[in-house]
């Protein structure tokens, strides 16, 4: 009788865990011209170092656990009236886990704490926790986390009708930032949710 092999082949839960690389998110193999490989490697290394340095210096960037524990809480089918009160429903529609609601792609998500009052008009207050997704494409109108000359900022990415890009503040007391060739800009991700106390 042949004995089953004791090594080789695929094994459950073996291999590198998803999102455990140096960038904290899934990667994809692409074909690039050989002449551009050094430039691409340098760019990726710079982005990794910026993220690590900021995390060490400010301690305000938090990465979610790869598999956060599920805490299902009851979600009532009736909506809460913000105007006149409505009769309460006596049953629960389903259980809802906040990780499922706030974090769509754990490997591409991080949290950052907001500072300042430049985004009050967008509902972002000082000390709020922002949920940021690196997999979403930055686009006109999105609220983004950007490293501007090495400093992190949260602003709305906007484009004029003439095609000029700028970072828009959501508070008239703060100026918008015009994006030009003299600025070093790296967009880290798009803000998807804001968590703050009442």
Catalytic site residue from 41, 155, 158, 168:
155
- Confirm whether 17 is a catalytic residue: no
Catalytic site residue from 10, 14, 39, 118:
118
* Among 174, 177, 146, 140, residue whose Cα is nearest residue 160: 140
* Among 64, 60, 189, residue whose Cα is nearest residue 133: 189
- Confirm whether 118 is a catalytic residue: yes
To 10 degrees, the CA torsion angle through 192, 48, 146, 163? -100
Report the 10 Å Cβ neighbour count for 89. Answer: 11
Q: How far apart are CA 55 and CA 58, in angstroms?
A: 6
∠ Cα 33 38 43 (to 5°): 105
Q: What number of helices (H) and strands (E) belong to the chain?
A: 2, 10
∠ Cα 88 94 97 (to 5°): 115
Which residues are part of the catalytic machinery? 118, 155
């Amino acid at each position: 009788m042949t004995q089953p092999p004791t090594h080789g082949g695929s094994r459950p839960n073996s291999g590198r865990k998803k999102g455990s690389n140096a960038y904290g998110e899934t990667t994809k193999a692409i074909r690039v011209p050989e002449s551009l490989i050094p430039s691409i490697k340098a760019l990726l290394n710079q982005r990794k170092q910026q993220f690590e340095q900021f995390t060490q210096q400010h301690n305000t960037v938090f990465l979610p656990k790869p598999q956060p524990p599920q805490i299902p809480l009851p979600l009532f089918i009736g909506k809460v009236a913000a105007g006149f009160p409505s009769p309460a429903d006596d049953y629960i529609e389903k259980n809802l886990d906040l990780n499922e609601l706030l974090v769509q792609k754990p490997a591409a998500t991080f949290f950052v704490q907001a500072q300042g009052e430049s985004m009050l008009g967008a509902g972002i207050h000082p000390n709020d926790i922002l949920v940021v997704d690196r997999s979403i494409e930055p686009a006109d109108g999105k609220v983004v986390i950007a490293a501007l000359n090495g400093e992190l900022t949260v602003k709305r990415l906007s484009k004029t009708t003439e095609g000029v890009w700028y970072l828009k503040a959501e508070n008239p007391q703060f100026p918008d930032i015009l994006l030009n060739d003299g600025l070093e800009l790296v967009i880290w991700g798009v803000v998807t949710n804001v968590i703050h106390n009442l």
